[in-house]
Chain A
Amino acid sequence: MHAGPVIDDFDEVLARARAGSAEAFTLLYEDLVRPVAAYLRARGVRDVEDLTSEVFLAVFTSVGRFTGGQVPFRSWVFTIAHRRLVDHWRSGSRSVPQAPYEPQDDDRSTESAENQALDVLGEERALELLAMLTDDQREVLVLRIVADLTVEQVAEVVGKRPGAVKALQRRGLSTLRRILESEAVTL
């Protein structure tokens, strides 16, 4: 697991969150806000700030209905994020943006200007490659890589069978492999 800290006493934190505890909300938020934001950014959302907050508002106002441990909670949060993302596109009558990533719109920072330039270029290229996949393939790969979910968790989030998720990720990786190989030959 690479995505943020892991809450040790998750059951207790969840119980306090159900009671409306601000401290429990903060713990859950800090645990998952970065992967959720990265997921939304990788899916092409420009106003990540607003949509991430919408996701967590929905999570905290409906956490009383959730039952389960930390792993299902992560899947549940990404299910909400996935649905909010679909609503976001539907409400704006927008399709998945195919435009390349704009580095000047990204206000994130790293420790040095040199590293920042390298990272931004790398992420820009990664988003360009992802944009060449189908929407389902991109969704599955982003949930697997950025959200760090298993095949079964991704299947729950997107509402497909695990076999369909495996097929989508296999085809997506094959497409990326083919593109990278062709670029290497060209270069």
Chain B
Amino acid sequence: MSTFDDNQDMRAQSDELLLTGHTVPDEPGLVDLVATMRRTVDAPAPRPTPALAMLLRDGIATTATVPVRAAATARARRRLGRLWRYVAGLGLAGKIALGAGIAFAGVTGAATVGAVPAVIQAPARAVVNGVEHLFAPRSNVPVVPVPTSSATPGAATDTPRTTSSGERPAFSGHGPASRPTPGETSPGILLEGPSSQTARPGEATPTLPAQAATQATENADSGSATVHGKSDVAPSATPSAAARSDKAPAHP
């Protein structure tokens, strides 16, 4: 063992004595520093927070529910705050649409729920009856599938789903709300109405072969709204796009 190792060992022993609060000769500064730091432990204990004080007073069994309730309340407040921030961040059109939706849902609910007093239910029902015809299907007009002739791939996949004599009113709508979910019978797409009577700029108005129209009518009567026979219905559609047509949402 060299002199250097001896010095290292002695220094390590000296450090250990110093750190454990023993007096080490020739190092009064460090001894004072360590003593000062060790004295900080003798300072009065800080006050416990209310949550910890409750735990120390009641134990864990009775206090465990309090933080959970507080956390649930805090979560609910955060969600409400997020909702308000979302609504506040909407544009003017979004706020109008949201308000109209809420008003429509309120009126419809007041008209249909029997528990509502007649004073409220009667005018609400009158409003609903007033706008009901806008959504009702016209059964006297033959319903035919309208194939698309658009050359765009997205339009080529559109296959009309038709119904003519369904009891439920059919809505002519776009977007997720009008898409049938798997396992659910599609209510069909109403081809009548302003959107189907006027051709949009850039879109051709196709004419259907008689066979396709007949088959579509039969399918519609049997409850199936899908038109089979891709080559008859959508001549311009590619085979792969037509093969996907059963899953695609309808666009009039």
Could you tell me if B15 and A145 are in contact, using CB atoms closer than 8 angstroms? no
Residue of A nearest to B54 (CB): A22
| A-B CB contacts (within 8 Å), total count | 114
Residue of B nearest to A63 (CB): B60
For residue A181, give the distance in angstroms from its CB to the closest CB of chain B: 8
- Which of B12, B27, B49 lies at the interface centre, i.e. has the most chain A CB atoms within 10 A of its CB? B49
For residue B135, give the distance in angstroms from its CB to the closest CB of chain A: 54
Question: A170 with B27: in contact, given A20-B59, A146-B38 (CB under 8 Å)?
Answer: no
Nearest first, the 10 A-B pairs at minimum CB distance are A20-B60, A180-B29, A22-B59, A53-B49, A49-B46, A53-B52, A122-B36, A38-B40, A33-B45, A126-B36
Scoring B residues 169 to 195 as 1 if CB is less than 8 Å from chain A, else 0, what string do you get? 000000000000000000000000000
From the candidates B30, B51, B61, name the one contacting A20 in the complex (CB within 8 A).
B61
Contacts of A122 in B (CB 8 A): 32, 36, 39
Measured in the bound complex, the distance between the Cα atoms of B33 and A170 in whole Å is: 15
For residue B36, give the distance in angstroms from its CB to the closest CB of chain A: 4
For residue B43, give the distance in angstroms from its CB to the closest CB of chain A: 5
Q: Does B200 contact A (CB under 8 A)?
A: no
From 42 to 63 in chain A, residues with beta carbon under 8 angstroms from any chain B beta carbon are: 42, 48-50, 52-54, 56-57, 60-61
Scoring B residues 52 to 78 as 1 if CB is less than 8 Å from chain A, else 0, what string do you get? 100111111100000000000000000
Q: A34-B43, A146-B41 are in contact. List 18 more A-B contacts (CB 8 A).
A: A2-B21, A30-B45, A35-B41, A49-B46, A53-B52, A56-B52, A57-B55, A108-B44, A119-B36, A123-B40, A126-B37, A129-B33, A130-B37, A141-B19, A170-B12, A177-B29, A177-B30, A183-B29
Contacts of B44 in A (CB 8 A): 108-109
Measured in the bound complex, the distance between the Cα atoms of B41 and A34 in whole Å is: 5
Scoring A residues 143 to 180 as 1 if CB is less than 8 Å from chain B, else 0, what string do you get? 01110100000000000000000100110010011001
Could you tell me if A50 and B37 are in contact, using CB atoms closer than 8 angstroms? no
For residue A169, give the distance in angstroms from its CB to the closest CB of chain B: 7
Contacts of B57 in A (CB 8 A): 22
From the candidates B32, B34, B49, name the one contacting A50 in the complex (CB within 8 A).
B49
Contacts of B15 in A (CB 8 A): 169-170, 173
B: contact size bracket: 35 or more
A: contact size bracket: 35 or more
From the candidates A29, A49, A119, A148, name the one contacting B49 in the complex (CB within 8 A).
A49
From 94 to 110 in chain B, residues with beta carbon under 8 angstroms from any chain A beta carbon are: none
Could you tell me if A53 and B37 are in contact, using CB atoms closer than 8 angstroms? no
Contacts of B30 in A (CB 8 A): 173, 176-177, 180
Residue of A nearest to B61 (CB): A20
Measured in the bound complex, the distance between the Cα atoms of B49 and A54 in whole Å is: 8
Q: Does A25 contact B (CB under 8 A)?
A: yes
Q: Does B220 contact A (CB under 8 A)?
A: no
Could you tell me if A2 and B29 are in contact, using CB atoms closer than 8 angstroms? no
- Which of B12, B32, B57, B60 lies at the interface centre, i.e. has the most chain A CB atoms within 10 A of its CB? B60
Could you tell me if B41 and A25 are in contact, using CB atoms closer than 8 angstroms? no
Some 5 contacts from A to B, beta carbons below 8 A apart, are A2-B21, A4-B41, A22-B58, A25-B59, A183-B29
For residue B52, give the distance in angstroms from its CB to the closest CB of chain A: 4
Q: Does A21 contact B (CB under 8 A)?
A: yes
Could you tell me if A146 and B60 are in contact, using CB atoms closer than 8 angstroms? no
